[in-house]
């Protein structure tokens, strides 16, 4: 889909559809493209407003036929909600809803009216948010389905504003963020027999090449030389070779820089502590953390952020093969810590233990790990917010703020020292699970031992990795969370150090 800027008035655009945004106000027609449309229709929107069909409410889309009174035969009006509560995320969601509605009508070209500098955002910010919404909302994963018919496609989109330069500046920013999130979605939606650790490495290499990101793929032999016994312990049960991905963006001074670590379990059976069969197919998405950190590097490079960032992704299957680890086994991580395996289904923290140890070995700081780690966080926060646990409250606050700017919600959980008691082992330095109580927190407490004194935040996305329905920027399936927050975090760090 091609997106361009235009100085032509939106109502004069030569397109198949026109998208206009509306706020839920007492005077919904007070200014902008919606007022101009109403004038062109000789007050034809008034009956829709009076009947309640057009209110500007969140998630509302209304199709208006213009009967030749404008260049486009149909106009889609997408609701933003109350003006006083409107932010960039409301613009993203409205753009996504409106674009999907337009696509459902027919293929072709879409024109979008870019209004709203009076709401406190620049044209660049508004255009960027619209582009994020368009690309995120129009996402489809149907590559393995036999088409029943040729699907509608919006081939061209034009953003119309008097400030063409502002729109032109916003387009690549928004598209980079959404493109990275959609790449993470593609990886997480892929069936696990097609996305093995080797194939994940191949796709990461192609992504890195397309975005000028350095990449190194570490094999099991090299991981063994480094002493990654925790990562390799999980890999023992699978016939698929494990891969450890290292991606680097060098945009700053000669220093190690920021470190992202993502859990890359391409399928999680639970191992010997096997999961119930019901819904196990969803465990193809247990590599969503790795997908997020790999994908974020593409956008970080596209935006040429003046900061050094390294992403680490330990990738393997967790299978109950004849050589698999067993409850009661002892593993030794790269940092020398011994781990008692209580439950082989608590494997994500085992692979991340060596990723965090390796990040410290490289001198990366601060560290952020991303993982579909615990069902407990989904019980606590549902599918609305990603859990944040950290050894540095200021770092946690930075992550949460980056999420607000990206439109992704985070909630911090406590890391009180009393939780350490639950993961004490009688035979090792630590055990890999602390029981049912505070499961998300005790998992983070385990990881904290491998982050050490380095400022570190853990993002448990087990509740937010998948969207159960299509609404706004979310399309049913893999969510692409928290790719855009990781990019925003890196951008904020780069700006702070400038």
The tens digit of pLDDT for each residue in 126-183 reads 999 999 999 999 999 999 999 877 789 999 999 999 999 999 999 999 999 999 999 9
Which domains are present in the chain? 2-177 (3.40.220.10), 195-497 (3.40.630.10)
On whether the CB atoms of residues 3 and 175 are closer than 8 A, the answer is yes
Task: Note the pLDDT of residue 147.
Answer: 80
Q: What is the pTM of this model?
A: 0.97
The CA distance from 210 to 261, in Å, is 21
Residues near 306 by beta carbon (within 8 Å), at least 6 away in sequence: 251, 252, 494, 498
Residues above pLDDT 90, as percent of the chain? 94
Calculate the CA dihedral of residues 472, 473, 475, 478 and round it to 10 degrees: -140
Nearest in space to 355 (alpha carbons), one of 480, 239, 228, 464: 228
* Residue 103 among the catalytic residues: no
Please choose, from the candidates 481, 484, 494, 379, the residue with its C-alpha nearest in 3D space to the C-alpha of residue 438: 379
pLDDT at 347: 99
How many Cα neighbours within 13 Å face the side chain of 423? Answer: 27
- What pLDDT does 117 receive? 66
Catalytic residue among 275, 405, 409, 471: 275
| Pairing between β-strand 108-113 and β-strand 154-160 as defined by DSSP bridges | parallel
At residue 217, the 3 state secondary structure works out as: strand
For residue 241, pLDDT beyond 80: yes
Percent of the chain predicted with pLDDT > 70? 99
Q: What is the dihedral of CA 103, 107, 111, 115, to 10 degrees?
A: 0
> If you average pLDDT over residues 374-383, what whole number do you get?
98
Give the three-class secondary structure for 64. Answer: strand
Nearest Cα residue to 383 out of 293, 447, 313, 474? 474
From 263, 284, 349, 488, active-site residue: 349
Weakest mean pLDDT among 80-84, 218-222, 345-349: 80-84
Residue recorded with tokens 């209304």: 62
Is-catalytic flag, 424? no
For 257-279, what is each residue's pLDDT tens digit?
999 999 999 999 999 999 999 99
């Amino acid at each position: 889909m091609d997106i361009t800027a235009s100085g032509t008035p939106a109502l004069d655009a030569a397109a198949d559809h026109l998208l206009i945004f509306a706020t839920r106000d007492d005077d919904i027609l007070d200014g902008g493209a919606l007022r101009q449309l109403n004038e062109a229709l000789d007050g034809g929107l008034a009956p829709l407003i009076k009947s309640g069909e057009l209110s500007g409410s969140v998630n509302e889309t209304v199709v208006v036929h213009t009967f030749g009174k404008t260049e486009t035969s149909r106009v889609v009006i997408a609701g933003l909600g109350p003006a006083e509560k409107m932010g960039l995320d409301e613009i993203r969601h409205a753009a996504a809803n409106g674009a999907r509605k337009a696509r459902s009508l027919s293929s072709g070209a879409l024109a979008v009216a870019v209004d709203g500098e009076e709401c406190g955002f620049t044209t660049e910010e508004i255009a960027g948010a619209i582009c994020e919404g368009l690309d995120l909302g129009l996402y489809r994963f149907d590559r393995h389905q036999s088409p029943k018919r040729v699907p509608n496609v919006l081939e061209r989109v034009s953003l119309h504003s008097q400030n063409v330069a502002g729109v032109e500046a916003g387009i690549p920013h928004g598209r980079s963020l959404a493109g990275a999130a959609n790449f993470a979605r593609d990886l997480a939606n892929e069936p696990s027999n097609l996305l093995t650790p080797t194939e994940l490495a191949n796709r990461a290499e192609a992504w890195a090449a397309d975005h000028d990101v350095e990449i190194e793929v570490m094999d099991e032999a090299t991981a063994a030389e480094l002493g990654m016994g925790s990562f390799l312990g999980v890999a023992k049960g699978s016939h698929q070779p494990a891969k450890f991905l290292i991606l680097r963006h060098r945009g700053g001074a000669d220093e190690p820089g920021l470190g992202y670590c993502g859990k890359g379990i391409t399928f999680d059976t639970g191992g010997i502590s096997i999961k119930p069969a019901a819904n196990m197919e969803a465990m193809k998405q247990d590599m969503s953390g790795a997908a997020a950190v790999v994908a974020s590097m593409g956008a970080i490079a596209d935006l040429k952020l003046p900061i050094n960032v390294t992403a680490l992704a330990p990738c393997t299957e967790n299978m109950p093969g004849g050589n698999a680890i067993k409850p009661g086994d002892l593993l030794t991580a790269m940092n020398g810590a011994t781990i008692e395996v209580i439950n082989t289904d608590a494997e994500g923290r085992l692979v991340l233990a060596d990723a965090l140890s390796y990040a410290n070995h490289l001198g990366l700081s601060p560290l952020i790990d991303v993982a579909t780690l615990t069902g407990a966080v989904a019980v606590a926060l549902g599918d609305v917010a990603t859990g944040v646990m950290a050894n540095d409250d200021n770092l946690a606050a930075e992550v949460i703020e980056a999420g607000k700017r990206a439109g992704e919600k985070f909630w911090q959980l406590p890391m009180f020292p009393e939780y350490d008691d639950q993961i004490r082992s009688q035979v090792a330095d630590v055990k890999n699970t602390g029981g049912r109580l505070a499961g998300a927190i005790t998992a983070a407490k385990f990881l904290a031992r491998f982050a050490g004194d380095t400022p570190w935040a853990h993002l448990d996305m087990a509740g937010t990795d998948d969207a159960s329905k299509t609404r706004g920027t979310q399309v049913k399936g893999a969510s692409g969370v928290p790719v855009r927050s990781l990019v925003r975090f890196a951008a904020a760090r780069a700006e702070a150090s400038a």
